[in-house]
Amino acid sequence: MQRILLISYFFPPCNLTAAERVNSWARHLNKFGYYPIVVSRRWDINIKNLSDLSHATPKEVLYEKHENYESYLVPYLPNLKDRIYTKYGNKKFVTLRRALSMIELIMQRYSNLFIPFNNMGAFADDFIKKNRDIKKVIISGNPYIQFKFGYQLNKKYGTKWIADYRDAWTTSEIDLIARGTMFKYIRASDVASEKKWVGTASAITSVSEPILKNLTNLVGVPGKWIPNGFELGEFDDLKDLKPFDKFTVTYIGTLYHGQQIELFCQAFIQFINHIKTDNVKLLFPGLAFHKDQFQRIANIMAGYENYFEGTERTSKDKILEIEVKSHLLLYPAWKGFNGIIPSKIYEYISSGTYIMVAPGDNGEVDKILTQSGCGKIANTQEEIFEFLKHAYDLYTKGIKLKTDLSAENVYFFSREHQAKRLADLLNTL
């Protein structure tokens, strides 16, 4: 069993989706010849709003021994910017906080002292110095400044490392939308840093193939597509739940302006007008946490307030229950932006509830849905309307659309299988 380091800013007990990718590797890699040692920051409170990310934690390193891995969670020591934010939020000293953020973004590439969690890199350095059997490291971004740790470990100890991208960094298309001159200046500097740091990696992994292709072209390092995947058995305790009484379509997670939710909402209104019943519901669990996006839905659905509902942040257990009980799970893909894959799409697959992607992206999300056979892609209002009628007709007959999770093409997207593919890559280093 070969020991490796996994470095990730996000890791349980962090309750954000970003923590689950490395968590799955920690739990599954030992099945394929690797014993993971995780280095992350402490997460001592559930994240309910953005300021929770900046709170100080206890000052001790938290060590935990698990069945398949062990972890070292180092304390988070907030800098001045964080302390201002946690105390005043967006009410006072906003300009000062933005200035400090800008200084941090510019200076952290020159000195680790400007990295708010630089103790993670220092801990990893000290651990490898004391444990020279550690020859391989995986670093998962974002934050992408973590890749600087990989560069430094490589230069100091000759450590082979994999740069894992949960999203694109400087090759991102959507980050450039509505950005000012200063952002573009920082982005140009980030490109140089990305080439320098990731250029020392032995391999790159990413959640999508288009992102991976752009990355390998940028830094000249070979890569492998490692989807996020879903956890086998995650819904086993919920499989006997009965569906909602009302015909329910559910969208889980954050909504962004690049997602054309308007298309589905307009078709849903058409559908409501067609069936002439209040026995339908459109759910947005957690969306009320994002006030502007919830208002966006409210504006589109004006006059149909009784047919949709949004809630504040909802517990993971409750979300899983909602996914199982829903009749359809909705995802509006980023049309025109190939390579943007939400981790939520894999949880959708795992639930067994049929998925509607509307609109599709003519890219990675469409490919996942087609390859897994777990849903329907609809690109026009009429296509959405017709499929809603079809699903509702089945509902009136007591039939709920489901997917076959035992199929081989579905198992490919399991987290266990993706850990094996990652182990195969590690074997080549």
Same domain, 315 and 348: yes
pLDDT at position 105: 85
pLDDT at position 399: 92
Regions of the chain short of the pLDDT cut 50: 178
Cis status, amide bond into 359, omega within 30 of 0: yes
pLDDT at position 315: 84
pLDDT at position 193: 94
pLDDT at position 422: 98
Same domain, 246 and 107: no
Total domains present in the chain: 2
Same domain, 77 and 116: yes
The predicted model scores a pTM of 0.80
pLDDT at position 20: 92
Q: Sort strands 62-65 and 70-74 into parallel, antiparallel or unpaired.
A: antiparallel
Same domain, 218 and 249: no
pLDDT at position 183: 67
How far from 382 is each of 266, 385, 414, CA to CA, in Å? 10, 5, 33
Same domain, 218 and 304: no
How far from 326 is each of 140, 238, 322, 423, CA to CA, in Å? 33, 12, 6, 36
Is the CB of residue 334 less than 8 Å from the CB of residue 310?
Answer: no
Question: CB under 8 Å, gap of 24 or more: what pairs does 212-216 form?
Answer: 212/165, 214/168, 214/171, 214/339, 215/165, 215/168, 215/171
Is the CB of residue 229 less than 8 Å from the CB of residue 248?
Answer: no
Q: What is the pLDDT of residues 192-232, one digit of tens each?
A: 999 999 999 999 999 988 889 999 999 999 999 999 988 88
Gap between the Cα atoms of 218 and 170, Å rounded: 9
Q: What is the DSSP letter of 178?
A: T
pLDDT at position 181: 65
CATH number reported for the structural domain that contains residue 127 in this entry: 3.40.50.2000
Kind and range of the H or E element at 127?
A: helix 118-130
Same domain, 300 and 337: yes
Same domain, 124 and 262: no
Same domain, 193 and 267: no
Domain that holds residue 385: 236-411
Q: Name the nearest CA neighbour of 139 among 153, 129, 128, 127.
A: 153
Kind and range of the H or E element at 357?
A: strand 355-357
pLDDT at position 26: 97
Same domain, 214 and 112: yes
The phi and psi torsions of 121 (rounded to 5 degrees) equal -65, -40
Same domain, 341 and 356: yes
* Strand segments (E) across 150-194: 160-165
Q: Quickly tell me which residue has 């609109």 as its tokens.
A: 359
Same domain, 401 and 255: yes
Same domain, 405 and 420: no
Gap between the Cα atoms of 89 and 362, Å rounded: 40
pLDDT at position 339: 67
Q: Quickly tell me which residue has 């939710």 as its tokens.
A: 261
